[in-house]
């Protein structure tokens, strides 16, 4: 019976992600926890789920040249070492997952609240500007301040994505929109996904090797449900606007986030 439930859970999350663009981590981890999966296993397994489901998107955006690779590089310079250090610290400091469960739940609550706010207030789209990211300056070197902001933001994402599996998508996209207000929406999405894939993979590997927090059988069931659902939802999304569903999901994530953060 659990097999059917997990396949359905994967399908629900996959459909929602494909239809609305809302990140899978903010949906999958709370759903698995509510289904009775231990906190640490839900987070570790979801990190691998995110890496696998986002990888095809990264390849597609790379082919279409929708990725700002310099931005990905500087984000990863902060996020990947921070992710490794976070997973190692949990293993070194704590002897049992129950000892760091409170850290995971409070962090998860905070990240869900932040994600819900980002979904509500993020820009729905943008058009390129001739003064920002035009063909003449797309390859220009990032300014020192932007490089520093990207690295420091990567540090934040590396820590909290490893702790919660949430934030690699929506929060990173919000950062890119703030730094580059005229970057085309597809380029924001491509850059965001291209950073999320290595970050969630490294975080997932940390949970697997140091903490033993990954259930690969559960992961297979989730993927079995989600991969077909994502493709179906993407086809439907081209005909039906998903912004109302996004706001409803944001409200649900806000309530769940407050619960995890305070109770």
Give 162-201 pLDDT, tens digit per residue: 999 987 777 888 888 888 877 787 788 889 889 999 999 9
pLDDT tops 90 at residue 238: no
Query: Residue 128 in contact with residue 134, Cβ under 8 Å?
Result: yes
Write the DSSP assignment of 22-68 as a string of letters. --HHHHHHHHHHHTT--HHHHHHHHHHHHHHHHHHHHHHHHHTT---
Query: Residue 162 in contact with residue 23, Cβ under 8 Å?
Result: no
Mean pLDDT of 70-77: 94
pLDDT tops 80 at residue 22: no
Q: Global pTM?
A: 0.84
pLDDT of residue 129: 45
In angstroms, what CA-CA distances link 127 with 92, 130, 181, 183, 214? 47, 10, 9, 7, 40
Q: In the chain, which ranges are E strands?
A: none
Q: Where do the domains of the chain lie?
A: 2-262
């Amino acid at each position: 019976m659990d097999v059917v439930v997990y396949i359905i859970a994967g399908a629900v999350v996959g459909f929602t992600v494909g239809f609305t663009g809302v990140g899978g981590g903010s949906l999958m981890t709370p759903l698995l926890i509510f289904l009775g999966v231990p906190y640490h296993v839900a987070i570790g397994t979801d990190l691998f789920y995110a890496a696998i489901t986002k990888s095809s998107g990264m390849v597609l955006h790379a082919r279409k040249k929708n990725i700002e690779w310099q931005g990905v590089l500087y984000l990863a310079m902060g996020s990947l070492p921070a992710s490794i250090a976070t997973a190692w610290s949990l293993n070194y400091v704590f002897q049992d997952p129950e000892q760091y469960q409170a850290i995971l739940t409070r962090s998860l609550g905070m990240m869900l609240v932040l994600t819900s706010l980002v979904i509500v207030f993020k820009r729905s789209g943008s058009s390129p500007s001739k003064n920002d990211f035009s063909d003449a300056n797309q390859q220009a070197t990032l300014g020192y301040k932007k490089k520093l902001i990207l690295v420091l933001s990567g540090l934040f994402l590396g820590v909290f994505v490893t702790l919660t599996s949430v934030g690699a998508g929506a929060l990173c996209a919000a950062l890119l929109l703030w730094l580059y207000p005229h970057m085309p929406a597809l380029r924001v999405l491509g850059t965001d996904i291209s950073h999320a894939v290595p970050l969630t993979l490294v975080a997932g590997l940390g949970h697997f090797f140091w903490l033993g927090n990954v259930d690969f059988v559960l992961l297979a069931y989730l993927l079995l449900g989600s991969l077909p659902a994502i493709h179906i939802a993407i086809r439907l999304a081209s005909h039906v606007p998903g912004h109302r569903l996004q706001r409803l999901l944001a409200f649900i994530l806000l309530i769940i986030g407050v619960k995890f953060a305070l109770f």
